[in-house]
Amino acid sequence: MLDENLEVIQVPAFSDNYIYIIRDLISGQVGTIDPGTAEPVIKILDEKSWKLDFIFNTHHHPDHVGGNLTLKDRYDCKIIGHGADQRRIPGIDLKVSDGESFTFGNREVNVIGTTGHTKGHIVYWFAQNNVLFCGDTLFSMGCGRLFEGTPAQMWESLTKIKQLPDITKVYCAHEYTEANGAFALTVDPQNENLVQYMTEVKRLRSEGLMTIPSNLGLEKKVNPFLRADDLRIRQNLKMIEATDEEVFAEIRRRKDIF
Cα 166 to Cα 7, 27, 220: the distances in Å are: 20, 28, 8
Q: Is 175 in the site for Zn ion (CB under 5 A)?
A: no
Q: Is 82 a residue that touches Zn ion (CB under 5 A)?
A: no
Please report, to the nearest 10 degrees, the dihedral formed by the alpha carbons of residues 167, 168, 174, 178 taken in order: -20
> In the complex with Zn ion, which residue's Cβ is closer, 145 or 205?
145
Q: How far is CA 171 from CA 19, 208, 242, in A?
A: 9, 18, 31
Of 65 and 194, nearer to Zn ion (C-beta) is 65
Whole-number Å distance between alpha carbons of 132 and 6: 12
- For Fe ion, give the closer residue by CB, 89 or 194: 89
The one of Fe ion, Zn ion, none whose footprint includes residue 227, by CB under 5 to 8 A per kind, is: none
* Residue number of the CB atom closest to Zn ion: 61
Tell me the window of 79-87, 129-137, 155-163, 204-212 that interacts with Fe ion (CB under 5 A). Answer: 129-137
CA distances from 53 to 49, 56, 76, 129 (A): 13, 10, 7, 19
Amino acid at 148: E
Q: Closer to Zn ion at the Cβ: 145 or 254? A: 145
CB 6 within 8 A of CB 28: no
Number of residues this chain uses to bind Zn ion (CB under 5 A)? 2
Which residue's CB is nearer to Fe ion, number 180 or number 191?
180
Query: Does 136 sit near Fe ion (CB under 5 A)?
Result: yes
Q: Does 174 bind Zn ion (CB under 5 A)?
A: no
In this complex, which beta carbon is closest to Fe ion, that of residue 85 or of residue 250? 85
Q: By C-alpha distance, which of 170, 174, 216, 222 is closest to 196?
A: 222
* Least separation in angstroms between CB 134 and Fe ion: 11
Question: Residue 93's closest CA among 82, 108, 78?
Answer: 78
Least separation, in Å, of the C-beta of 63 and Fe ion? Answer: 5
From CA 74, how far away is CA 59, in angstroms rounded?
Answer: 22
Options 24, 34, 85, 136; binder of Zn ion; rule CB under 5 A:
136
Using the rule CB under 5 A, is 61 a contact of Zn ion? Answer: yes
Binding piece for Fe ion, criterion CB under 5 A, among 24-32, 58-66, 93-101, 154-162: 58-66
- Return the closest-CA partner of residue 38 out of 66, 14, 17: 66
Contact pick of 63, 219, 230, 250 for Fe ion (by CB under 5 A):
63
Q: What is the CA radius of gyration of the chain?
A: 18
Our finding on whether 34 is near Fe ion (CB under 5 A) is no
**Taking the complex as a whole, how short is the minimal distance between the CB of residue 136 and Fe ion, in angstroms?**
4
Q: Minimum Å distance from CB 214 to Zn ion?
A: 18
Q: Considering the rule CB under 5 A, would residue 250 count as an interface residue with Fe ion?
A: no
Cβ atoms of residues 227 and 233 within 8 Å: yes
Binding site for Zn ion (CB under 5 A): 61, 136
